[in-house]
Amino acid sequence: MHKLFVHPLPVRVWHWINALGFVVMIATGIQIRYIGLIDLVSFKPAVEVHNAVGFVLIANFFGWFLFYLFSDKIRVYLPELSPAKHFAASFRQLKFYGYGIFKGQPNPHHVSVYHKFNALQSMTYQIVMLLLVPIQCFTGVLLWDVERFQSAITLAGGLRVVDTVHVLVFIFFAGFIFIHPYLASLGHTWSAHFKAMITGYEEVEDE
């Protein structure tokens, strides 16, 4: 087992701000969307906290985006252009998650500095970080001030469309927030990946 520096400081800072922010956004989002069903706080403070944390997360996203855009770590998020390689690696990984992991088989993905994600993670994070998060930020800003962004809302298909998209992505993220820690606990010990996201060093098995 040797240590590999995989998560630079900006990524770790972004990650933990994002994690905390997502929990707050999901909690306040549920409160705003399903008022009456859940009454943790009253409506107005929920909206105010949701808006404030939303802007923090937008700034945080831009920090993440610029870091990857202008550093050599951009390679972490580059797609696999060979479908054959991508699907072969994806099914190998699925087989591991569905079967191999319960049999104590080794993870078919070997982490390296520029390949920290396996094929499934890579595909998921590309969609989440470069499509769903921007969509959520954009629709969130439109919903933050409906009057000011009336023309943009109309262009996007109306308030109902913008709201539906925002809620659907919110449902996806709410699911993601449960799946993500579970998958993060599948390292060689349950806490290995959590520690790595604090120290920056992943413990990688020697080949």
Nearest approach, Cβ of residue 3 and another protein (Å): 11
How far apart, in Å, are the Cα atoms of 93 and each of 14, 24, 51, 89, 167? 27, 32, 38, 6, 30
Q: Would you say 121 and 97 are in contact if contact means Cβ atoms under 8 Å apart?
A: no
Beta carbon nearer to another protein, 43 or 87 = 87
Q: Report d(CA 27, CA 96) in Å as an integer.
A: 33
Beta carbon nearer to another protein, 163 or 203 = 203
Beta carbon nearer to another protein, 33 or 115 = 115
**Helices (DSSP H) in the chain: which residue ranges?**
9-33, 43-69, 83-98, 119-127, 133-144, 150-155, 159-184, 192-199
Structure tokens at 14: 């972004």
Nearest approach, Cβ of residue 155 and another protein (Å): 21
- Block residue for tokens 């690696």: 89
Nearest approach, Cβ of residue 59 and another protein (Å): 20
Nearest approach, Cβ of residue 136 and another protein (Å): 13
Beta carbon nearer to another protein, 150 or 199 = 199
For another protein, the binding residues (CB under 8 A) are: 2, 4, 68-69, 72, 74-75, 77-79, 81, 83, 86-87, 90-91, 110, 112-115, 122-124, 126-127, 129-131, 204, 206-207
Nearest approach, Cβ of residue 202 and another protein (Å): 11
Beta carbon nearer to another protein, 125 or 149 = 125
What end-to-end distance do the CA atoms of the chain give, in Å?
9
Q: Report d(CA 87, CA 80) in Å as an integer.
A: 10
